[in-house]
Structure 1
Amino acid sequence: MNRILVVDVGNTNTSIGLFEGTNLVYDWRVSTLKDRTSDEMGLLLKMLFADKGMRGNPVDGIVLASVVPPVVSMFAEMCRRYFHRHPLVVGPGIKTGILVKYENPRDVGADRIANAVGAVQRYGGPVIVVDARTATTFTVVNEAGHYVGGVIAPGVQSAADALFQHTAKLPSIALTTPESVIGRNPVSSMQAGIIFGFADLVDGIVRRIHEETHIKHRVVGTGPYIDLLRAHSRTLEDVDPHLSLHGLRILWDLNH
């Protein structure tokens, strides 16, 4: 059974998964460091594998999706040096199994392609994928399984950081749900605005998509911050934390 390493590089975090066949057996999340060297990345992966009792070269194939361009060449070098593999890099020219109806398909982020591919196989169309990362993105797939476009909004952590960095008196806060929507101090007021505000942002965008398309989509949430929103959203039906990793594994199968 083939072991496939899948890596989804975001602006803040990098999600890593190891598949045996179609089963995700291990997954990790590490910080994205744009100046990390190929040796540092290679040794990090070797340590993660060793912690699970895997030595030598435990992978038969590697797939990379990255929204951070400088990471791609570093990662490709690491794959060659430490795993003797050439990675499949998600981008123009690879087989996706879906039709991308963007004005310029090259402008679609690799993470959103992975989400769309994973959603089509796991849920079918029509489906909206809400990915709560550094940015909050909405990937819209129609009933035929075509990627028809989406929405990009600020992210939960990005909004909290912006309030702290661009105001004189507001503090840096932990992203937790406050007891009440009416805050009684700066911290709980900011938490209410961000957590409840972004949950309503999700519901509002989904509602507008439904009204514009006249189609009821299934709504699937993913991403590191989705758990903050799921309890307060009225439209999120499923949460699939590893959706992009499953999409990358499917992309490997389609291209091999």
Structure 2
Amino acid sequence: MILAVDIGNTNISVGSFSDKKLISHFRIDNKVLINQKATTLPIKPSLLNESKNIIIASVNPDIESVFYKSLAEIHIKKILKIGREIELKIPILVENPQTVGIDRVLNALAAYRNTGTSTIVIDFGTAITIDVVSQKGEFMGGLILPGIRTSAYALNKQTALLPEVNIKRPAKIIGKNVEDAIKGGIYFGTVGSIIHIVKELNRSYGYLEYTIATGGDAKTFKKDIPEIDKFIPYLTLEGIKLAFEENLKNLNS
């Protein structure tokens, strides 16, 4: 059994894989990890002890440091990191490959292994990333938008009177109060942006065979973005598992 750990900007996603299948998964709020003592890492000790390897991918250095310290406090040493001990076997065709978020590349890897052809990958998280994988399995680059919670937070912090609201699909597009106006603006603005971007990507690159969505907010948009062919909730964890499997020969040598 292996434990895949995706350290993000808001949450840590943890998935346990056995016989190549995801058998359990959960999320840890980053604030919980910061506020707790290292010896109270919110992962069952049995899960850590039963895992042959703990594979970590991170886009958040500060939380990563806290997580490593927490593991060290309970004497867990069987840790491998994506990009350090584990190489990503996917061509990254951008100007500065080292600056691309590891989660984006893992999503691309997992998406391509799933479809075997050209794919658009949309990850609905703190930021919304929209990336393109070529027919040959190359990471071509993409776009980054603010996520719905990030947009709501920014509106609240950058204005004097607008409240911070929980974004979900409003019943009507026109809001009859400030809260619903914000919900509608952010929700339908995001929908419109993604539909237009997918259209432009297909126009620019020729027809891309699949569009896959993942991330914590992906299901929120399922009804209004018919361009999405597949929803894979834990695509990044799948990417971590695949990257580990593709490096097994080197790790065992």
What corresponds to 1:19 in structure 2? 17
What corresponds to 1:30 in structure 2? 28
Partner Cα separation in structure 2 for residue 56 and residue 222 of structure 1: 26
What corresponds to 1:90 in structure 2? 82
Alignment gaps of 5+ in structure 2 = 249-253
Q: Note the 1:1-256 alignment, pairs <5 A.
A: 3-33=1-31, 36=34, 40=38, 43-46=41-44, 54=46, 57-82=49-74, 84-91=76-83, 94-256=86-248
CA contact (8 A) 2:86 2:244 kept: no
Q: Secondary structure at the match of 2:191?
A: helix
- CA shift digits 1:119-150 (9 cap, x unpaired): 11112220111001111001210000111111
Partner Cα separation in structure 2 for residue 233 and residue 242 of structure 1: 19
Q: How many residues get paired?
A: 248
Q: Secondary structure at the match of 1:164?
A: helix
Q: What TM-score, normalized to structure 1?
A: 0.89
1:55–1:8 distance in 2 versus 1, CA, 3 Å: closer
Q: Taking every aligned residue pair, what percent have the same amino acid on both sides?
A: 31
The offset of 1:170, in angstroms, is 1.6
Q: Secondary structure at the match of 2:166?
A: coil
Partner Cα separation in structure 2 for residue 88 and residue 41 of structure 1: 21
CA contact (8 A) 1:80 1:86 kept: no
The CA RMSD over aligned residues, in Å, is 2.2
Q: Secondary structure at the match of 2:74?
A: helix
Partner Cα separation in structure 2 for residue 55 and residue 236 of structure 1: 34
CA contact (8 A) 1:199 1:230 kept: no
Partner Cα separation in structure 2 for residue 121 and residue 84 of structure 1: 31
Question: What one-letter code is carried by the residue in structure 2 that aligns with 1:154?
Answer: P
The offset of 1:68, in angstroms, is 0.7
- CA shift digits 1:5-54 (9 cap, x unpaired): 011111111111111121111100111249738953763112xx6xxxx4
Q: Secondary structure at the match of 2:34?
A: coil
Partner Cα separation in structure 1 for residue 48 and residue 6 of structure 2: 23
**Which shifted more, 93-102 or 246-255?**
93-102
Alignment gaps of 5+ in structure 1 = none
Question: What one-letter code is carried by the residue in structure 2 that aligns with 1:13?
Answer: N
The offset of 1:235, in angstroms, is 1.3
Question: What one-letter code is carried by the residue in structure 1 that aligns with 2:28?
Answer: V
